[in-house]
Each structure stands twice: as C-alpha cells, then as structure tokens.
Structure 1
Amino acid sequence: MTAHTMNVNAVVDKAKFKPFHMTVVLWCLFVVLFDGYDLAINGVVLPLLMQEWGMSAVQAGMLASTALAGMMFGAMFFGMLADKIGRKKVILICVTLFSGFTFLGGFAENPTQFGVLRFIAGLGIGGVLPNLVALTSEYAPQKLRSTLVTGMFSGYAMGGIMAALLGTWLTPSFGWQIMFWIAGIPLLVLPLLFIFLPESLAFLVKQQKTEKALAIVQKLSPEDKVTPQTVLVFNESKVPAASISALFKQGRLPGTLLFWLAFFMCLLMLYALGSWLPKLMMAAGYSLGSSLTFLLALNIGAVIGTAGGGMLADRFHIKPVIISMLTVGILALIGLGFNSPQPVIYFLVSLAGASSVGCSILLYSYVAQFYPLAVRSTGLGWASGVGRMGAIVGPIVIGFLLGLELPHKFNFLAVAVPAVLAVIAIAFIRPAKEQEEVVITKASIEPIKQTT
C-alpha cells in the first residue's frame, strides 16, 4: 500500500474558511480582548490613582510603564519559548499570568505593590500577543490571512471600548479597583481554552504527534482523503529553530532592524495615547467624564481601522496600507492641536485610534509574513519586545510633557513624531530572499515505514 503525501502549507493556503478557522480566531480574539482592556484601564485609572496616592504626572507615567516593561521581557522570552514547546502551552501560561496578576492589582495599597503586580502581569500580556498572531496566521488561508489576523486583533480595540464604558459606569460607585477585578475573568475560561484551542500544526508534525496533526488537516481539507498512512510535509527555511541569530541571516538583517524601529515608534504612539488620552483632553479643557468618552472614540476608531486595514491589506499589499494609515494618523494628531468643534475632535480622535491601533496590529501580520515558520514566534516576540520599549517610553514622555504644562497642541505634535519615523522605516522594508524546501519530518515518515 502506497502512502499519500500532503503539503501542509498548500492545504492551509488553499483552504476555504471553515468552522475550525472560526474556532481559532474566536478563542484568540477572546484572549486579546483582555489584553486591550488591560491597556485601556491605564487611561481610566491613572487620573484616579494620581488623586488617591498623590502622584505627579511623571510618577503616574512611570507607574503605567511597569506593566509595559514586563510586556517587553515577556514578548522576547515567550516568543522564543513557543518555538520550542508549542504556542498553545505558552498562550495558557501567559493567560494565567496576566489575568491572575491584573486581578491582584485591584488589591494594591500603594504604588510599589501596584507596580510589582503590573510588571508580572505584563510578562503574560507581552508574551501572549506574538503567539496569538503566529497561531492565527499559521491556520489562516492565504487570501484571508491579513483579514483574519486583524479581525482577531480587533479584540484589542474592543477591550479598550469595554474599559472606557466600564470605567464610566463602574468607577464612580466601586472605585478604580473594580477595573482590575474584572480582568480575572479569563482565569475561569482556562479549561475551555485548553480543550478547544488547537496547537500549531507544524509543531505537532515536528513533535511526531501525527494523529492530532492528521485530524486537524482533515478539518482544514475535508474534501481530501486523510488516512493514518498520509505523509505530512511542509515548507521550511533552513534556519535553526528559535534562534535569535536567524533573524539577521539570509538577507533578513535590514528588515529585522527596520521592523524593530517601526514597532518601537508605533507602540510609543499607541501607548502614549492609550495611557494619557483622558489626561491630554483634560489639559485641553475637557472634564474627566467627557475625556473618558474620547477614550471610547479612540477605541471605536481602532476597531474600524483594524478591520478595514486587514481587508485592505488582503486586497492590496500590506505595506502601502500601513503607510497610508499612519499618514492619516499624523494628520489627525496635528489636527487635535487646534480648537475645533467637538464633533470634529471626536472624529480626529477616532482617526488617531484607527491609525495607532490598526497600524500596530497590521505590523504584527506583516512580521508574521516576513519570517519563516521555524523562527516566526521568535521574530514576532523580538519585534514586539523592542516595540514594548517604545511603549514604556511613551507614557513617560507624555507624563513629562504634561508636567511642563506646555500648550496642548505640543503634546499632540509629540505623539505624531514617532508616526513620521515609523512611515520612513516601513518604506525601506524589503522582503528577504531565501530558499524554502519541503521538509519531511520523523512524524510523517513513520507511516511510510509501516505501509510500504
């Protein structure tokens, strides 16, 4: 009896959208929803913490950056770990960390306790993002890849909307702590994640878990006959697994450095806005209540920008879409520095949200397409980790500017400068030229031995 060979990459690329794809996207979306929520609660609670603990804007900016520092280390470490032990295990570990320690943050009694808990939670928040992107990208059909990755990532902006709404409704009655206790919800869902979230297909094949891999291939391609004798092969570049040095080889050096710069600048802009927008609008003369409404507008714009950007990236090329969206964001931020009617300000805030969140998310999808499978999580993790340095710098810089009490238009111009630098970096990115070959793993050779 002759074994039947199936190329995993071809099966995934040509698959039609099926319930299996929806399962992957929805579970990843649920996890990223709480990551976006976690970012936005900084903007909700910082004015309240400054009042309760008597902090200056600079001190509050430093406190907001503790979680972001954790995210930086988490993205780098868990990105590499996933290429070794599998994406699913790392996602479960990260959810436990960020949900559990964000929940505990609601019990903090002083800035030191709060900062320590936020740093540990940040390890999980930063570690989970590159793995959610890698897993979604790995299972997405080629024609829908950017749409599904950005669709999953729209949960990030939805989490921001949830935080803005709950902050407006709940904090006056229950205090800032309630925002952190809500973040414990994913802990309750961990058993379901363990059961229903699939592991990386390439990882299953490499680990000789042929039965599970074949079951997933059958779901992706039910029209093809998959038997225990089916041999799974996949395309893979000749790079050492989970190797940082591989990010700089085979023509990837310029692209890696440019992606790092783009991530740094985009996340600086994103987290500066996410952490300080209510306070920035208060400095421009608005009340705290209306400033939280601006946070809601920012995240509504982010949802539209994320979904729309993904569809445009699949229709056109992802690179010009990112550059165009960043350009719109730059113009919106410049516009916010001028006194305009309130509806116009809401519109500009929405455009800034669409640009900052949408472009950051599209960058994840762009990076996932740039690196080969063997180092995809590593590449995403390090790009995200370097970006987190920008995320750390952003709230501190804006806190410093607010402390100087400059005219508010200078605050928005300062947020626009990183976007200009990100446009320049992305404009120079070129695809790496590398050879990919079909690899037959030990797991897929076994059936041949038994049946030929």
Structure 2
Amino acid sequence: MAISILPGAAATRDASGRLFIDEAPLKPIHVVATAAVLGGAALDGYVLGIVGPALSIAKQELQLSAISQGLIAASALIGVFIGGLFFGNLADRFGRRPVFAWNLAAFILLSLLQVVVQDVWQLVAIRLALGLAIGVEYAVGSSVLAEFSRRKGRGVLLGCFSIGWQVGFTVAFIVGAFYDGDNWRMLLASSGVPALITFALRMTLPETPMWLKARGRDAEAQAIVERHFGAEYAIPDVDLNAKHASPRELFTAETWRQTLYSGFFWFCQVGPFFGIFTFMAPVLESLGLKDAAAVDMSLNAIQIAGAVFGVFLLHWMSRRGFVIWTFVIVLLTFLALGLFPQAPGWAVIALFAVYMFVAPAANNIQFVYPPEIFDTHVRATGVGFSAAFSRISAAGVTYLLPWLLQQFGFSATLVMMAGFPLLGLILSILWAPETKGKHLR
C-alpha cells in the first residue's frame, strides 16, 4: 500500500490489450455514481448545517446554555467519528453497495425521529446516530466514487464531493434564514426529503468492480464491466494480499505515516471550519456585525465560489502543493484576524471573506487524497479512519467554541485556532505524498 512519487507514464492496458476502466470515456454509470455520491454529500452538509438555524429557534424552549448548544452541534460530529471507524471496515469486508445504499434508509428514519424530540438528550442521541450515518458517507461514498471515476478527471470529480457538501450546507442556511415558523423539529426533519431521493438513486447502482476483483470475484467484476463499460475494458490490478481488510494494515512499518497524515491534514482543516460555520451568527457578532443578515448571505455565496474554485485548483496543482499552500493562506488569515483586533471594519470583513473562500476550496482535497492513498481492499477502512480522526478536532472545537467566545473573545480564540493550520502545514511539508494521476490499485 506504499505510495511513491508518481512516475512518468502509467500503464493503461492489461496483458490482453484491454483498456483499464479508468481510461474509459464518459459513460452513464459515471453519471449515476456521481449523482448517487454527491446527493449523499449534499445531504451530509444539510444535516450538519440545519442544526444552527434550528437551535436558534429551540434555544428558549429547551433552555439551552452555551455548553448544551455546543453539545447538540457536536453530537453529529462525534457520531461521524464512530461511523467512519466501524462502517468503513464493513464496506471493505462485505461490499460498498449494501453499506452505501442502506445507509440512506437510516438517514430517512433518523430525520423523521427528530419530529418527536422532547428534550436535549433525546436530540443529542438522534444527532449522534445521524453522525454515524454521515461517517458512512465519508468513508464509503468517496471510495465508491473513486472506484467508478476516470483517472484523468478523478481529482476534479472527487473534489465535487466538497461542492455537494457545501451546497447542502448553504441550502440549510438559506432554509433556516427564510423559515419564519417556530417548529424547529420540522426544520431538523426536513433532511428526510433529500435522503429519500438519494436512497432511490442508490438502489440502481451496482457493486464496484474493483472491490469485487479485490475479493477474488473476477467473473462478477468483469460482468459489471462489460455491462456498463464494454467488453474492451478491464479492471486495473488490485492488491489481493488481504481478504479480511484488517485495520492493522493501516499501521504497518510501511503504511503508518501515510495513514496518520491522511487523518491529520483533515483534522487540521475541519477543526476551525466546523466551529466557525456552525456558530456563524455569534462569530459575525464578535466581528462587530450586528445586522449581519446580508453579510451572512454574501459570505455563504463566497463559500460556494471557493468550493468551485477549489476544484479548478485540484486540476491545476499537485496534491502536495494544494495542501501546503492552502494551509499557508489559512494560517496567515487567522493570525491577521487574531493579532489585529482593532483593524478597520472593512479589513476584518475582507480577511474573514478570504477564509470563507479558501476554507471550502481547501476542503475539496479531503475527498480526493484519502481514496488515492489507500489500496482497494482497505480503502473504505482507511478513508473511514481519516474521517473519524478528523472529527476529533471538529467535535472538540464545535463543542467549545461558544464557551471560548464567551471567555476569551473572538481574537484570542482565533489565535488559538491558528494552531490547526500551523500543524497541518508542518505535517504536509514533512509527509504529504503525491498521488495525482496514479492508477488506483
């Protein structure tokens, strides 16, 4: 499973002269797989984004303190930690399709259960379970898309997972902003609608041929290839050494550094991101923006633009250069905002807009790097571990941010959070591999 710097020219055919499926032109199966995965990404963003507007309505009824708000917001992120660790390995053992498809049934049920919530702990429990389902999306969704994608456009396609997530997150904000009722339970349960649509779509998607081949089921794998790609295509060589997809393979003498890096760069990106974006209203108030509705909407538009721009960056830049330079920009932005609290209002808004643009752009690589780093037989396990590891920082910062803002103010809190991009930058310089353009194996 070791990753080396990309060699000059990769082989594109098997011993019989058939092209590998990742060299195929655009096929209907590419479209179906993309829609099935990105629909789940948008659903994830919506589930995590709608909790902020809902809590602003529920605050009085549930008598929420700053700590309890943080706990509710962080509960889904804690669930992602557990779901990524457990269900990613199940997808490597028993198949992408069953875990990937039926996960959406859990989304539908849990979304609807939020209608009957009566107290804080019931809501925390349901949001925790939703986080388990989101963990499946991160671990299995990006693996499915990687294994169905074309080699030359893989980075851009996987980067669109982040755009889908960002669209869902922004739609949740818009729904919350224009919702004028007081039924916060229905607001939370609205995620059941996109979950139902995505579930119907996923039931049409076959198992990935690469996973079948990795399990030694060559005849089934080739049948899917011939049905959806054509008889002139074959599956790239995959690692058949491990039949049981043990998580221990992630931490051998050869692989531990790559595994830790896959988790750490994600950890350093999402800690500040989830804290700031979940509690956008108090963050903007801390910046001195009392009447912030128009600014808030504008900044969400900047997020979408940043996510789209990040896809182009993935096409233009190496993977290693992408993570290094985005960490540099975020670090400098945090330090400028934190160390110069008396800066003019326009400068503060401009700097915050830079972060709102760069952070979604940087997040694109979270769904590109891990699927490229890990081999097929442990891909979902490895991606699941990386997603789970990242949620340690996401849940911690989201839980503590309301309290940190109360105790220390925005500037000091941002200086503390600058430690995340600093750590990410150091580890990227030391450990980041180059995986752009490689054949998955």
- Please report the TM-score for the alignment, with normalisation by the length of structure 1: 0.84
| 1:443 aligned partner | none
| 1:262 aligned partner | 265
SS at match of 2:152: helix
| 2:288 aligned partner | 285
| 2:10 aligned partner | none
| 1:363 aligned partner | 366
| 1:336 to partner: Cα distance | 4.3
Pick one of 61, 66, 69 that aligns with 1:60: 69
Distance in 2 between residues matched to 1:426 and 1:40, nearest whole Å: 29
Q: Tell me if the contact between 1:42 and 1:274 (Cα under 8 Å) persists in the aligned partners.
A: no
Alpha carbons of structure 1 residues 110 and 438: separation in structure 2 relative to 1, 3 Å: closer
Pick one of 246, 249, 254 that aligns with 1:246: 249
Q: Report the AA paired with residue 180 of structure 1.
A: L
| 2:22 aligned partner | 13
Q: Tell me if the contact between 1:300 and 1:353 (Cα under 8 Å) persists in the aligned partners.
A: no
Q: Tell me if the contact between 1:251 and 1:432 (Cα under 8 Å) persists in the aligned partners.
A: no
1:322 and 2:330 aligned: no
| 2:162 aligned partner | 153
Alpha carbons of structure 1 residues 49 and 377: separation in structure 2 relative to 1, 3 Å: same
Alpha carbons of structure 1 residues 6 and 378: separation in structure 2 relative to 1, 3 Å: farther
1:11-39 CA distance string (max 9 Å, x none)? 13322233321221122111110101112
Q: Report the AA paired with residue 422 of structure 2.
A: V
Alpha carbons of structure 1 residues 347 and 432: separation in structure 2 relative to 1, 3 Å: closer
Q: Tell me if the contact between 2:74 and 2:398 (Cα under 8 Å) persists in the aligned partners.
A: yes
SS at match of 2:118: coil
Distance in 2 between residues matched to 1:360 and 1:99, nearest whole Å: 26
1:189 and 2:197 aligned: yes
Distance in 1 between residues matched to 2:244 and 2:308, nearest whole Å: 32
1:281-334 CA distance string (max 9 Å, x none)? 1233334x625x555445433333333323322332111112212222233334
Pick one of 83, 102, 122 that aligns with 1:93: 102
Gaps of 5+ in 1: 440-452
Q: Report the AA paired with residue 253 of structure 1.
A: W
**Count of residue pairs the alignment pairs up:** 423
Q: Tell me if the contact between 1:161 and 1:299 (Cα under 8 Å) persists in the aligned partners.
A: yes
| 1:363 to partner: Cα distance | 2.7
More moved, 138-147 vs 99-108: 99-108
Q: Tell me if the contact between 1:137 and 1:368 (Cα under 8 Å) persists in the aligned partners.
A: yes
Pick one of 378, 394, 402 that aligns with 1:391: 394
Q: Percent sequence identity over matched residues?
A: 22
| 1:303 aligned partner | 304
Alpha carbons of structure 1 residues 346 and 98: separation in structure 2 relative to 1, 3 Å: farther
1:180 and 2:182 aligned: no
1:379 and 2:382 aligned: yes
| 2:413 aligned partner | 411
| 1:233 to partner: Cα distance | 6.3
Q: Report the AA paired with residue 428 of structure 2.
A: I
Distance in 2 between residues matched to 1:295 and 1:437, nearest whole Å: 42
Q: Tell me if the contact between 1:160 and 1:299 (Cα under 8 Å) persists in the aligned partners.
A: no
Q: Tell me if the contact between 2:95 and 2:211 (Cα under 8 Å) persists in the aligned partners.
A: yes
| 1:447 aligned partner | none
Distance in 2 between residues matched to 1:204 and 1:270, nearest whole Å: 36
Distance in 2 between residues matched to 1:28 and 1:393, nearest whole Å: 27
More moved, 77-86 vs 205-214: 205-214
Q: Report the AA paired with residue 254 of structure 1.
A: R
Gaps of 5+ in 2: 1-13
More moved, 53-62 vs 352-361: 352-361
Pick one of 26, 35, 44 that aligns with 2:35: 26
Distance in 2 between residues matched to 1:61 and 1:7, nearest whole Å: 57
Q: Report the AA paired with residue 198 of structure 1.
A: P
Pick one of 133, 148, 166 that aligns with 1:139: 148
| 1:136 to partner: Cα distance | 0.9
| 1:71 to partner: Cα distance | 1.1
Alpha carbons of structure 1 residues 80 and 294: separation in structure 2 relative to 1, 3 Å: farther
| 1:426 aligned partner | 428
Q: Tell me if the contact between 2:306 and 2:360 (Cα under 8 Å) persists in the aligned partners.
A: yes
Kindly report the root-mean-square deviation, in angstroms, between the aligned alpha carbons of the 2 structures: 3.0
